[in-house]
Chains A and B, each alone.
Chain A
């Protein structure tokens, strides 16, 4: 049973890309997206983030940050992150614009706000394929360490779903077991494509 997974966070940089990289390495069919209106990376101060539009290649961002302040961005891990990302795919993608990428079986979000956005978006898609999509949310803080943990957990859950004969029948169990084992709260819902 090969499921199509989508990892979704706000900017398609840290959490979703961590998970994307991990799942991809494990041979799962995975894509990743961000739901924000722009890709935002921390800048020299909280009020001056680096803002890019979705579709800007990671390589361009990397070069941009290298140019701006290589020390700072090396210290806060952005450069490493971007290097990792450009090995996974070319550029961040926006969830709301992914209609052409086909349907997903599992959409994994890392923040409730993102979860809501994804649901909202799916409700407005007006397709009628009668195809189920499981949308799962697990709150993960947007920093490198948490993202690494979150990625592993996402991988674990997705593998469980993948192993199930039909996740539709077992989702409650899977989620419960997962929650118990990892002591993380999940939230999930179902939408139809």
Chain B
């Protein structure tokens, strides 16, 4: 550590010694690194004073860097703020703008950091350390200094940053409606998580109100910059920054929208006053600001749309504006449609609201700011009591009446009215509330004073205030309202507040219903209405909410929970609009409870406010409002009034007709609704709740909604209608309506109730549960589409799956025959459901597994295939069901193997041979062509004479396949199962074998030739399975290269076990020449068909090594077979030769020539040589001349010494006459004589041939004599030698 310090000291000295500014900065950077990051705790206190001395450095880069250093220090070590901020202040005034700019940047960041720390400390510990307060005070100084820079005409660059700082402070000092709680302060971009709402509830140092006021004042200053006299002197750049800042503020703080936008709009048409040539840039800035604001979805922006669009049009970007508007309006319309789509009886009534005329409602809602009577607005001015909502009630008479009353009762009577119970709370709120509310109230007044423009702003302001703030305003205004009603007309209200004390003026005639005293718990159910509720909507709903009121004390309490609460909150007649807004906005606190620091506490206030509101209602009604409304009341209420309730002794007689005289307010008496009415009402209200899902989802309350809705529905399970409504809603759009989540909530709720219910009536809930789940599953089934897994998800996650539902699944998997195509998806869905049930629900596992297995032997191919896929691929790998599946498959395999109705068995034996043969031959092809078994049956039916008998047999074939498919599928997964198949094969019926054969190619191609289990099986096949084994071998080698192991195994099998070359045939193609040659005789020894197959394989060979033997080699090998030595009947060899020679394309004449050439050289000559020669000539006559050469070579080899071949030779010569004549003439005379003896017919032509002048000289004399061409007897003794002579002559040639 000491080392670091020394280093730092050295650096500091060096900095002081260095002359050049940039070098100094570099050194300072190194120094900062040491001081701030390496060892700040010990070095900072020592070095900071030294560092601060650099403020007097002449080089501006150094001072600029000083500002940067200050930021580093201030951000990390707040303790130094009192030391560094004075320096920063002086830097602000620096002559070099860059320094001042940097100072502002640094200061801004420190400012925010300090503010946040102060706020947090205050919020968490209730007090703030003195040193931090000190820091804060310094930062306030800094703030003031920067502000003065912002609004004076100095350096533009500095001013820009100063203005930005102003914007930052405005944002910091006003509550962010989207902000986070202190404990969530991750980082919220602009405000770094800090939100004024943290300290709204009181803070020892920071005063939210004062800060808010300051923000408001600063905003005013900013706005003033753009107003005409000031704007004329603005440089473009500054104007741009101000516009941008204001737009940003308006967007982030919708409450200020109304103040900012008019100024910006006013600027649009005449930017000329702004200095400089860069008007285009300013206009562009305005454009983008407007577009930006237009796009903002803040409700406060709505009233401004028209004017924004108009402004944009005037700036020639109307099209973009229109586009944006269309986009937004579409969204609004969609929301609107969703809200009003279900025109239940109640909601139609809502339209004819007695309080607000419909056209005005729509104007307020959709676009324009409400047209307001200016004179009225002005009159409301002096009141200053925050009758803010009056603007929105354009009910002129209503307004006037209120105004008539208000001034009279403004002061004086206020406080005494407050009952003790609430007085306490009021006191509390006043403790921190009053002072913060006052400026806002005055802000309202100011806004009202602005006329039309302010009107909309008031509304926006109200909407954007934090709910607790608004509540305080309302409370503060309560005192100005008239009070002390002489008697209570509307007692039923009294029944509704559970928490609030009953006001002394309202005698509680109606016993408080226990259920009504649960507002906290059930209030969130109101969200659908209050979340989006702008005021007009609330008003519109009033009559509806009045409507169910009579039902409250009746028995339909559970169902009517929601409407009743609405009554409680909103059913306040319009004259007391303050109270009403207060309440509805208080309801909002529940929505935005993330913002409020303690929702529970809020609710206390809330409850109390209600009671206060109530007292005013009574007053007002007493005055003159009620008569005014009365004619417009709904029929039901009128009716109710006529039937006066005896339980309300103080209720006055019903009144009707308009009257301006104060009269006792009529009472809405309590009349129990009929059961039907109740049901209809409850259903309608439920429907409304359901259909509001989009709004709630948009507001982010979807989860809560689902939970509440589920509870609501589950509570009223006895009313099947409720569940039906829910089901209908859910099924209407399962995905979009969050059907799954909702339904699961309900199911769990029902289940929980069932679990908790007493033993006496356990059935009701479980019955409801079961029915609900079943009908839901049915509903889902009817809507099922491909790939839809909602059903299986539902069943997988439901708390319990009763048998009835399982049955439904089973039906799904086993569709009735016919219309199969449409049911395919059902089967899939059903099986998927089974799968998830097996996976996720151990108790139902066995049942479901049985169902799935049942499907694997289903008659329908499609179903079966799907089920088998599921079972084999998905379920079989699961350990806990594998054994069951295996058992089932084996059992079903054995059932067909051992099941032999005598009838079928006999027929099998009778017809089997024929069938199986054709079957085997066509099998591969069929499988390859994907021909379904039924088609195969058709083929066979055509071939077979006994069609009828065939049909029965075919049926049993498909039956066999049906039962065995699963087993085969399992075999591909577990090869060990194959042994079972091999074992039972032997005793199986023909049909079964047929079915097996049909499966083999696919099955074994899947398994492949490398499976150890399979190889073992091949090495040691169970008795009776030989045929199967052959089939398997063929399948394994067909078209693919058999594995080394397979070849080895087969060879071993041949060597050890069978000695039957048949088994070798499949692998022949992969054997080498050396391997084939020794076994060749054995192959020849096989039946002709088998030999042909083997021949094909040998000649085909493998892709790598080529054919094992060439055709020539085959023939030579054939001729090499010794019937005795190799114990092959000569006949077989001859047949084999014939077979070969028949394949003229393979054994071509070249091949034959080559073979003959080689054979003729062999000694001894092969037995069949001459036979082959004859056949060759026979097949290829063009070989004749070649054969002649062979013959003459044979002559020279003294062919006559081999009797068998000699015969052949002569035969050949005879067949090839006349070409063979010259060969014959080469024979010694004795042999020639022999030949002529055998074929006397040769003599004549031969003599003729020899007599030719060209031939005669070459023929020995003895032969000539023999042929009768010469009569010289003595020469006969020379004949031999002459023959020899001629022979040598020939051989020489």
Contact = CB atoms under 8 A, between A and B. Distances in A.
A127 B156 CA distance: 23
B248 interface: yes
Nearest to B159: A168
Given A169-B157, A187-B281, A189-B284, A130 B165 contact: yes
A132 interface: yes
B276 interface: yes
A172 B278 contact: yes
Contact of B278 (A119, A123, A131, A176): A176
Contacts, number: 82
A176 B240 contact: no
A166 B281 contact: no
A185 B192 contact: no
A130 B161 contact: yes
B288 A119 contact: yes
A190 B160 contact: yes
B285 interface: yes
B190 A128 contact: yes
B112 to A, nearest CB: 8
A169 B237 CA distance: 9
B273 to A, nearest CB: 15
Interface stretch (B97-105, B119-127, B1221-1229): B97-105
A126 B157 CA distance: 22
Interface in A86-143: 116, 119-120, 123, 126-132
A130 B108 contact: yes
A128 B189 contact: yes
A119 B158 CA distance: 22
Nearest to A131: B105
Interface string A152-193: 000000000000011111011001100100000111111110
A175 to B, nearest CB: 6
Given A131-B105, A168-B97, A168-B237, A189 B189 contact: no
A157 to B, nearest CB: 14
Instruction: Identify which of A123, A130, A186 gathers the most chain B CB atoms within 10 Å of its CB.
Output: A130
Instruction: Identify which of B236, B280, B281, B292 gathers the most chain A CB atoms within 10 Å of its CB.
Output: B281
A172 B235 CA distance: 8
B281 A126 contact: no
A187 B282 CA distance: 9
A190 B679 CA distance: 63
A165 B190 CA distance: 30
Contact of A169 (B156, B165, B277): B156
B961 to A, nearest CB: 52
B284 A169 contact: no
Interface in B155-172: 155-158, 160-161, 164-165, 168
B324 interface: no
B160 A123 contact: no
Contacts of A127: 189
B236 A172 contact: yes
A132 B157 CA distance: 9
Contact of A168 (B156, B188, B244): B156
B278 A175 contact: yes
B109 interface: yes
Interface residues of A, number: 29
Contacts of B189: 126-128
Given A130-B164, A132-B160, A168-B160, A123 B236 contact: no
B97 A172 contact: no
B916 interface: no
B241 interface: yes
B161 A132 contact: yes
A63 B118 CA distance: 61
A58 B237 CA distance: 38
Contact of A128 (B192, B235, B240, B281): B192
Nearest to B165: A130
Nearest to B156: A169
Nearest to B243: A189
Contact of A130 (B104, B188, B240, B278): B104
Contacts of A179: 277
Contacts of A169: 97, 155-157
Contacts of B248: 123
A130 B105 contact: yes
A140 to B, nearest CB: 16
A166 B98 contact: yes
Interface string B164-189: 11001000000000000000000011
Nearest to B241: A190
B260 to A, nearest CB: 16
A102 B557 CA distance: 63
A190 B97 CA distance: 17
A5 to B, nearest CB: 18
Contacts of A187: 280-281, 284
Contacts of A165: 97-98
B164 A192 contact: yes
B281 A188 contact: yes
B194 to A, nearest CB: 11
Nearest to B107: A130
A172 B284 CA distance: 15
Contacts of A185: 280
Given A130-B105, A189-B281, A176 B276 contact: yes
A130 to B, nearest CB: 4
A167 to B, nearest CB: 8
A18 B61 CA distance: 34
Contacts of A168: 97, 101, 155-158, 160, 237
Interface string B137-166: 000000000000000000111101100110
B167 to A, nearest CB: 9
A189 B281 CA distance: 7
A116 B98 CA distance: 28
B245 to A, nearest CB: 9
Contacts of A126: 188-190
B281 to A, nearest CB: 5
Instruction: Identify which of A120, A131, A165, A166 gathers the most chain B CB atoms within 10 Å of its CB.
Output: A166
Contacts of A116: 288
A100 B160 CA distance: 25
A119 B237 CA distance: 15
B226 to A, nearest CB: 16
A131 B285 CA distance: 19
A130 B157 contact: no
A190 B157 CA distance: 11
A129 B155 CA distance: 21
Instruction: Identify which of A168, A175, A176, A188 gathers the most chain B CB atoms within 10 Å of its CB.
Output: A168
B277 A190 contact: no
Instruction: Identify which of A126, A171, A185, A186 gathers the most chain B CB atoms within 10 Å of its CB.
Output: A171
A129 B164 CA distance: 11
29 contacts: A116-B288, A126-B189, A128-B189, A130-B161, A130-B165, A131-B105, A132-B101, A132-B160, A166-B98, A166-B101, A168-B97, A168-B156, A168-B157, A168-B237, A169-B157, A172-B236, A172-B237, A172-B275, A175-B278, A187-B281, A187-B284, A188-B278, A188-B281, A189-B244, A189-B281, A189-B284, A190-B160, A190-B237, A191-B244
Given A128-B112, A132-B161, 7 more contacts: A128-B190, A130-B105, A130-B108, A130-B168, A168-B157, A171-B237, A176-B278
9 tightest Cβ-Cβ pairs between the two chains A and B: A168-B157, A126-B189, A130-B105, A172-B276, A176-B277, A169-B157, A187-B281, A130-B108, A169-B156
